[in-house]
Amino acid sequence: MAAEGKASGGGRRDEEAARDSLHMLPLVTVPLATPGLRRAHLIKNSRLQTVVEIFRADGPGSGQVEIEQVPNLFPGDADGLGADMPILRQLASINSFDVFTLRVELRSRGIAVEDHEMLTLSKRKRAELTEAMRDFTRPLILQVYGSDDREITDVGDILRMFAHPDREEALRNLRRLSERLQIELAEIPRFLEDYGDVFLSLAYFRQCLDQVVPEIHRFQAWVGEALKVQQIAADIGVVRQIGEANRDIGDITGSLTGRFESFDRRSRDFWADINAETFRQLRELIQAHHATIGGVLCGLVLKMDLWRERFPEGKGGPLKRVEFFRSEVLPGLSRIKDIEREAARSLRQAA
């Protein structure tokens, strides 16, 4: 059983933090028969390996086991494990455990969810994303209210605002919107809910991207300093290996940023020609990319989190920096690169 990771107050995982994360899945979310497993979490490590976290103690460290070793922990639960192990193996193949990816992936695998709230962002996170959501909701607010000076503190306010319009003109505009979308006025709340959730997912992923990219730039500069040291610079193989990997990281973040720009263009196209089909296409396009966006961001965020944990003040001698890069950043990087390459190709084909 491995021990690694950060502490969680009182030895208990903050379930809201798990819901808001890219790499944690509370197993109480899915229907498992083994009681001990329902108290555990699936987590991704920095190498993108999926392990079962049985406990998280006060202070550094947590009890982690590989999935195939789980039966050794519960020798008296053979019947339950017979049903649970196939589910764990399926869950392990999911690229990211963010709630948006999980909704799509669990449904496609036929895995039921016992508490659907576990597949929603926390109220705190939704409030964080309100400002980012304004970019996506502004065209909608303008369509209905003619201005975007509405008081909004949470994305839920946006949906409530349209469900209960406070001006006769707004109601007329909603009727006009329903005609352009070719849906009944009574179906508008469902459209607004779908619209809000699609763009909430984009706001969530964009926030993750905006937070990790500066960290990547600092990390690359940190490693670059080590490559200038004569002892390391003389090792052409190491310099080439790290240089190629750094270029890969740059290509990955550039491609991911390009995908978000493409979604923005598609969103503007939708508002230029509003109809049910263009929204369906936009929604399906974005949802189809949840798993790959989540997978790429999950890998990058975990690697940067581990870097900050190991070198909290950006210290570390040249040899330690190179060793960290080779032992913790390189493993799994090719997987991240493959995910992004395939996703970018599919987006170009859909254009």
pLDDT tens-digit map of 246-279: 999 999 999 999 999 999 998 888 888 888 888 8
322 vs 7 pLDDT, higher one = 322
Pair 165, 144: CB distance under 8 Å: yes
Q: pLDDT for 146-156, tens place per residue?
A: 666 666 656 56
Backbone angles phi, psi at 96, to 5 degrees: -145, 150
Backbone angles phi, psi at 274, to 5 degrees: -75, 120
Write down the residue that tokens 């490590």 correspond to.
45
Q: pLDDT for 138-191, tens place per residue?
A: 887 777 776 666 666 565 666 666 666 667 777 888 888 888 888 888 888 788
- Per-residue pLDDT, 150: 61
pTM equals 0.87
C-alpha dihedral, 240 to 246 to 249 to 251, nearest 10°:
-70
- Per-residue pLDDT, 12: 40
Q: Is the pLDDT of residue 71 over 50?
A: yes
Residue in 343, 327, 155 with CA at minimum distance from that of residue 259: 343
With helix as H, strand as E and coil as C, how does the chain read?
CEECCCCCHHHCCCHHHHHHCCCEEEHHHCCCCCHHHHCCEEEECCCCCEEEEEEECCCCCEEEEEHHHHHHHCCCCHHHHHHHHHHHHHHHCCCCCCHHHHHHHHHHHCCCCCCHHHHCCCHHHHHHCHHHHHHHHHHHHHHHHCCCCCCCCCHHHHHHHHHCCCCHHHHHHHHHHHHHHCCCHHHHHHHHHHHHHHHHHHHHHHHHHHHHHHHHHHHHHHHHHHHCCHHHHCCHHHHHHHHHHHHHHHHHHHHHHHHHHHHHHHHHHHHHCCCHHHHHHHHHHHHHCHHHHHHHHHHHHHHHHHHHHHCCCCCCCHHHHHHHHHHHHCCCHHHHHHHHHHHHHHHHHHC
Domain assignments of the chain as residue spans, ordered by start = 2-120, 187-350
Structural domain 187-350, CATH architecture: Orthogonal Bundle (1.10)
Confidence of residue 309 (pLDDT cuts 50, 70, 90): very high
Q: Is the pLDDT of residue 57 over 70?
A: no
